[in-house]
Amino acid sequence: AQTVTQSQPEMSVQEAETVTLSCTYDTSESDYYLFWYKQPPSRQMILVIRQEAYKQQNATENRFSVNFQKAAKSFSLKISDSQLGDAAMYFCAFIQSGGSRLTFGEGTQLTVNP
């Protein structure tokens, strides 16, 4: 069974600064996808970024980028130029290729200070 661990229950960052959220996972699969989801107080889960395990290049989406270390089973999210609207709960999630069950971590609550 796959597990996803987020060791930072809470993080805070100053507006315009950079913050990194950590995630580790455990799997015996070699082909899978990793995701970061954002969940604001409205509860709507929004996909922030995804990474295919077979790709060595780290994914980027505007101010969001990941550091994917497959051998270490690590998948961190970097948010650059943090904005007040980035404040939310962030979840790391895993799904094996061809599968359909998402496994989520426990989440990291990000606070952005003005």
Partner 1 sequence: EAGVAQSPRYKIIEKRQSVAFWCNPISGHATLYWYQQILGQGPKLLIQFQNNGVVDDSQLPKDRFSAERLKGVDSTLKIQPAKLEDSAVYLCASRAQGRIFNEQFFGPGTRLTVL
Shortest spacing between CB 109 and partner 1, in angstroms? 9
Residue closer to partner 1 (CB basis): 56 or 71:
56
Shortest spacing between CB 81 and partner 1, in angstroms? 25
Residue closer to partner 1 (CB basis): 23 or 112:
23
Report the alpha-carbon distance of residue 114 to residue 102 in Å, rounded: 34
Strand partners, 5: 24
Shortest spacing between CB 37 and partner 1, in angstroms? 8
Residue closer to partner 1 (CB basis): 15 or 31:
31
Q: How many helices (H) and strands (E) does the chain have?
A: 0, 12
Q: Applying CB under 8 A, which residues contact partner 1? A: 4, 33, 42-47, 50, 91, 93, 95, 99-102, 104-107
Backbone angles phi, psi at 9, to 5 degrees: -65, -35
Q: Can you say whether the dihedral through the CA atoms of 79, 83, 14, 89 is positive or negative?
A: negative
